[in-house]
Amino acid sequence: MINDFLNMNGYGSYVLSAFSFTLLSFTSLYLITKAQYKKEKQKFFSKFGALDSKRAELAKSQNTNKEILSSSQFI
Amino acid sequence: MFKFFKLDQIFLITSKAPKYVMVLFVIVLSIGLLEALIFSPEDYKQSHSVRIMYVHVPAAWISLGIFSLITILSLSGYIFKNRFFFLIAKSLAPSGFVFNIVALVTGSIWGKPTWGAWWVWDARITSMLILALFYLMYLVAWRIFEDKEYVLKITTIITILGIINVPIIKYSVDWWNTLHQPASINLLSKSTIHTSMLFPLLIMTAAFALFSLLIFLMKYNTELIKIKNKGLDRL
């Protein structure tokens, strides 16, 4: 049964390679985008850490900065 | 009118949305793969090779849709003088480009058993290749030009020139003699595709749309953090 599925009347190599290429492209794009996001977030943390207390308070007063600093982010 | 496009409000939504979109994408993709690879019937003429349609067609549709959206957003950015339209357009482009490449490569894989060749200079394929070049130009323009005003202008020009190609892609199968068959799915008239094949096709399209939404949100958040990084520099 598995052999029939993989063979697909002789078209298995074409079908499975098309699906594999698609899923591989998706995974690559996801990982690249995630890496870019992490890099920018890391940059944000290091810049934020370098601020003195007065400036840090000022930066923290903005919602977006607060959200970036929170650990609730998924990606 | 564009209060919604304020950085703080929008980030509160976009930073939380990816995890829900990711879960939904995995569920819809799993159903789509089961339908496309196992439950859907083989074609009487193309046999199992027809299953390539379930990745090829949605990828082509979404890459065309995203390019059209990028053009509308770029033009809106100019008309309404709102830079967030450009930011949204920029964040959409990577997934649009990848879908375009997927459509070309899976089309090539499908072409071999169906037409006997990996590549032919058919009107539909050539115009899709041209679209990929426009995507590439758009992405490269954002990378190489430092001047913000200039890059907005250049990317808008690229999208305006590129959008001319979109109806050419759509109607190429009607205007010229091509190896591609005419559209099987029509919004205004009766579709010629059987529901047993239409269902998995729509499920896979939904999965691909969710994936592009996921990548868009991740990219958009990255761009917003970039803006915030610049803001910290100015403090």
Domain residue limits at B75? 68-179+195-228
Q: What would the two tokens of residue B59 be?
A: 């990828």
The first and second tokens of residue A57, run together, are 């308070």
Q: Which distant-in-sequence residues (6+ apart) come within 8 Å of B103 by Cβ?
A: B56, B59, B60, B63, B128
Position B149 scores a pLDDT of 86
pTM of the model: 0.89
Q: Report the residue of chain A nearest B118, measured CA to CA.
A: A14
**Whether B197 contacts chain A with CB within 8 A:** no
Percent of residues, chain A, with pLDDT higher than 90:
39
Which of A2, A5, A11, A44 should one mutate to test binding to chain B, selecting the residue with the greatest count of B CBs within 10 A? Answer: A11
Over 60: is that where the pLDDT of A75 sits?
Answer: no
- pLDDT, one tens digit per residue, over A41-73 is 888 888 877 777 777 777 777 766 666 666 545
pLDDT in tens, B150-177: 999 999 999 999 999 999 998 888 887 7
- Per-residue model confidence (pLDDT) at position B11: 77
3-state secondary structure of B43: strand
The SS3 of residue B189 is coil
The total domain count for chain B is 1
Using DSSP, state whether B121 is helix, strand or coil.
coil
Question: What value does the mean pLDDT take over residues A34-40?
Answer: 93
The closest of A75, A37, A32 to B229, measured between CA atoms, is A37
Backbone angles phi, psi at A53, to 5 degrees: -60, -35
